[in-house]
Amino acid sequence: MPVHCQVPEVAAVRPEISPNSLSRRRLVRVGAAVLAGAVVALAGCGKKSEPAPEARPVRLLQLSQHTGKTTFEFSGDVRPRVESRLGFRVGGKIAARLVDVGAVVRKGQPLARLDPTDLSLAEAGSRAQFDAARTDRDLAASDLKRYNDLFVKGFISAAEQHRRQATFDAAESRLKQAEAGLRSQANQTAYAVLLADADGVVTAVDAEVGQVVTAGQAVIRVAQSAEKEVAIGLPEDQVDQLRGITDVTVRTWADPGRALPARVREIAAAADPVTRTYATRVSVPNPPADLKLGMTAVVTFVRTGAVPAVRVPLTALLQEQGRNQVWVYDAAAGTVKPVQVTLGDPVGNEIEVRQGLAPGQTIVTAGVHLLKPGQRVRPMQAVVPASAPSAPSPTPTAAPVPQQG
């Protein structure tokens, strides 16, 4: 910093004296006094010494081991375990649709109907064939009885009796064939009415009245309400450690205080090409009636018996040339120094440190990017020891958010 100093002008101190009134010695003394004053003024214009830098205020945290439970939370949505695409078992023209999207249906309830004209005519033809075959059978049965009596009395030969028996057997077979055809055609006529195969909710309608559909074509989609599940995505670094966890619960955004028991039913074998997560289905057996499809839900995994580890807040980390480091506080000297660390799994707003730190050390948790090695710091508060983890309340998020339990 430049120092400005004003030097008194010597010429300004010029007493008006007459050579005739002062002696030469007096003039010499006046000049020496003025010169001494100028030297003193110049001596006061030296550089000022810079003050010592003030200690930077920081927040500190004392590390401790975490060996308790750890919870991981992932958000998802409620989906049906089974969603059926129902269609007619025969082709035809849709004559009526009896339900709309969102309707709650029961097993056996009619959903839609086809035009039954052609099917009714085919059933009538099968019934006529059945009646004709039954008449032929009855006639053959009467002839067989009469010829059996004649054969007993010896009026006809055994060959004739055998022909009558064969005629009756053929008529009996034709009757059974006609009966089977009639039943089949009656079933075809009944298939003109589409029935719900289970209790559920109509989620989509794929065909409307007047449309001609083929056998098996999807017409109405029904999601069964017997069992529901939550669809989530697991990141690739947590699939293996969460696969065997059995302590799983589901909470909905609408009612976060109610925890529903659940279980992991399925984990995809390959990651999704877009999200790079593994699609997972968490089943909720015997779901309550107010657990509606499409609700936002949070799945909580509780892991016990974890390996002891030191955890630090994410705000304590600083990346320097691609390396992670943490500022460690020296209470005796009042200074900080950087320590390189090896990180583990993230847990909520904290992350495990596998190497570099030990329980009992004190670290800086705020303002880490403003510090320098050996810099003096001043704690903003008393050193706070790391507290035991507590179970967090569920908060639905768009991405999987593990939290400390």
Q: Could you report the per-residue pLDDT of 202-256, keeping only the tens digit for each?
A: 999 999 999 999 999 999 999 988 889 999 999 888 888 788 888 899 999 988 8
> Please, what is the Cα angle at 397 between 392 and 401, to 5 degrees?
55
Residue 319 lies in a domain: yes
CATH number assigned to the domain comprising residue 92: 2.40.50.100
Of 338, 318, 331, which is closest to residue 362 (Cα–Cα)? 331
Distance CA(263)–CA(259), nearest Å, equals 13
Asked whether residue 100 falls in the same domain as residue 30, the answer is no
At 151, the amino acid letter reads F
Pairing mode, if any, of strands 377-379 and 56-62? parallel
CATH number assigned to the domain comprising residue 311: 2.40.420.20
Asked whether residue 292 falls in the same domain as residue 325, the answer is no
pLDDT level of residue 398 (50, 70, 90 thresholds):
very low
Half-sphere exposure in the Cβ direction for 166 (13 Å, CA): 6
Q: Residue for token digits 């529901």? A: 228
Asked whether residue 313 falls in the same domain as residue 366, the answer is yes
- Per-residue model confidence (pLDDT) at position 208: 94
Residue 103 lies in a domain: yes
- Per-residue model confidence (pLDDT) at position 47: 53
176-187, pLDDT tens digit by residue? 999 999 999 999
The last residue of a domain, from among 299, 315, 348: 299
At 91, the amino acid letter reads G
Which residues, 6 or more positions from 326, have their beta carbon under 8 angstroms from its beta carbon? 312, 316, 317, 318, 338, 339, 341, 353, 356, 357, 363, 364, 368
Asked whether residue 92 falls in the same domain as residue 215, the answer is yes
Q: Find the domain containing 14 and state its range.
A: 1-50
The last residue of a domain, from among 299, 334, 352: 299
SS3 of residue 188 by DSSP: helix
Which residues, 6 or more positions from 66, have their beta carbon under 8 angstroms from its beta carbon? 306, 308, 309, 310, 311, 386, 388, 389, 404
Asked whether residue 388 falls in the same domain as residue 312, the answer is yes
Residue with the bigger pLDDT between 398 and 252: it is 252
Asked whether residue 93 falls in the same domain as residue 215, the answer is yes
Asked whether residue 283 falls in the same domain as residue 339, the answer is no
Residue 175 lies in a domain: yes
Asked whether residue 391 falls in the same domain as residue 369, the answer is yes
What are the φ/ψ torsions at residue 169 (nearest 5 degrees)? -60, -40
> Please, what is the Cα angle at 126 between 121 and 127, to 5 degrees?
95
- Which residues pair with residue 74 across a beta bridge? 299
341-382, pLDDT tens digit by residue? 988 777 778 888 878 888 888 999 888 888 889 988 888 877
Residues 28, 30, 33, 35, CA torsion sign? negative
- Per-residue model confidence (pLDDT) at position 88: 96
- Maximum CA pair distance of the chain? 199
Question: Residues in the chain, how many?
Answer: 405
- Per-residue model confidence (pLDDT) at position 175: 95
SS3 of residue 117 by DSSP: helix
Residue 112 lies in a domain: no
Of 132, 104, 126, 260, which is closest to residue 180 (Cα–Cα)? 126
Of 280, 288, 295, which is closest to residue 248 (Cα–Cα)? 280
Residue 29 pLDDT greater than 90, yes or no: no
Residue 388 pLDDT greater than 50, yes or no: no
Asked whether residue 200 falls in the same domain as residue 186, the answer is no
Asked whether residue 350 falls in the same domain as residue 368, the answer is yes
Residue 270 lies in a domain: yes
